[in-house]
Amino acid sequence: MTRSTLVCGGESCAAILVERGLGANLSSVFYMDNCVVVSETYVMYALASDLRVSGGSVFSIQNSSWSAPSIEFYQGACVFEGVAVDGGSVLQIVSSTFRLGFAMFITNTLTVSGGSWLVHRNNEFRTAYVVYVENENGVAFFDRSVWSILHNNFKYGSYSSTHAQMTSKWSPPSDSHPIIYGVCNEARGSPVTDCGGDLNIGTPVTALECGACAMDAVRFAAKTSSISGCECVCVLLAATVTRVCQLRSRTALGRFRSPMRRTRRSAACTVAASAPWTILIPVSVVCALST
């Protein structure tokens, strides 16, 4: 979905209604790029169904603007029964602006596994909670999966003038070991220095300084084969890639065109492309430049 405007009126209206689950599997891609959404309450509403990103797939909301300024408790822009990211997949929210009410995402459970990535990067969130998980211990990260929270600005939304946080308070299950990076975020007008207190994240967060070589925080597992110092080798399913190895927000579109292997150097990156069919895929930032 690109360069589209969605307008939805009425308290129970959803710009995108999901009846039987929303999923991206087997290296599939769902992305909303350069879109504007205006809704009284919901942007995506799932009827007792899940959002699942698996098998090396990408779910991306990027370069977009959402306005859904409900003032009602427990009403979010995106409502799903459960959210699962697995198999080296990426769920990313990047370079977008959200003017919302209670929450952006509401779900009973959030599970990230199989070396997957949950990414919030370069956004402005005006909402009480970016991710609100209903179930106690409902957030779980397994298999060295990563949550990167980078260069975001958290402000008050229409629901609350006292809460502007990343999550509802949670503690991971005993068998879950989240790897969370917080880099150069701002909350309520001040730099984030304590992700637990400032963003309401109930587990340790690795905080990195602005401008640091944050390769671990931005090296998406689904897109990078190896890394050395502040340089990366990026194996991308794309034949045309421009400056994908920069730390700042950049997005390119590539196409699968032929089974031939091709490489192109850009920044400090070797990009390889190989695939037997044609499909659009958004290529996101995968590693940092040296400082």
> Do 189 and 100 share a domain, yes or no?
yes
Distance from the Cα of residue 66 to its chain's centroid: 15
The answer to whether residue 230 scores a pLDDT higher than 80 is no
What does the pLDDT average to over 105-118?
Answer: 95
Q: What is the pLDDT averaged over residues 253-260?
A: 28
Asked if the model's pLDDT at residue 241 lies above 70, the reply is no
Q: Are residues 116 and 173 in the same domain?
A: yes
pLDDT of res. 99:
97
- Summarize the confidence of residues 197-215 as an average pLDDT: 81
Number of Cβ atoms within 10 Å of the Cβ of 158: 18
With b for 16 or more beta-carbon neighbours within 10 A and e for fewer, the 280-289 pattern comes to: ebbbbbbbbb
Q: Kindly report the pTM of this predicted structure.
A: 0.78
Is 214 a domain residue? no
Q: Which pLDDT value is given to residue 227?
A: 52
Looking at the fold, whether 186 and 255 belong to one and the same domain comes out as no
151 shares its domain with 241: no
Q: Residue 289 falls within a domain, yes or no?
A: no
Residue 24 lies inside a defined structural domain of this protein: yes
Name 161's Cβ contacts closer than 8 Å, sequence gap at least 6: none
Domain presence at residue 288: no
Phi-psi region of 37 (alpha: psi -120 to 50; beta: other; left: phi over 0): beta
The reply to whether 124 and 195 lie within a common domain is yes
Instruction: For residue 218, tell me if it sits in a domain.
Output: no
Average pLDDT of the chain, as a whole number: 78
Residues 242 and 197 placed together within one structural domain of the fold: no
In a domain, 236, yes or no: yes
Number of domains in the chain: 2
The residue among 208, 234, 265 that closes a domain is 208
Which of 154, 184, 208 is a domain's end point?
208
Residues 98, 126 contacting (CB under 8 angstroms)? yes
Residue 148 and residue 251 share a domain: no
Structure-token pair, residue 91 = 């769920």
Sign of the torsion angle spanned by Cα atoms 253, 256, 258, 264? positive
Out of 3-17, 66-80, 109-123, 266-280, which region has the weakest mean confidence (pLDDT)?
266-280
Q: Given this model, what pLDDT does residue 244 score?
A: 35
- Whether 215 is in a domain gets the answer no
Do residue 191 and residue 237 come from a single domain? no
Asked whether residue 290 is domain-assigned, the answer is: no
Q: Across residues 210-234, what is the average pLDDT?
A: 57
Whether the predicted pLDDT of 63 surpasses 80: yes
- Low-confidence winner among 9-23, 50-64, 240-254 (lowest mean pLDDT): 240-254
pLDDT of res. 248: 31
pLDDT digits (tens, 9 = 90+) for 150-198: 999 999 999 999 999 999 877 777 778 889 999 899 999 999 998 888 9
Provide the domain limits for residue 86.
5-208
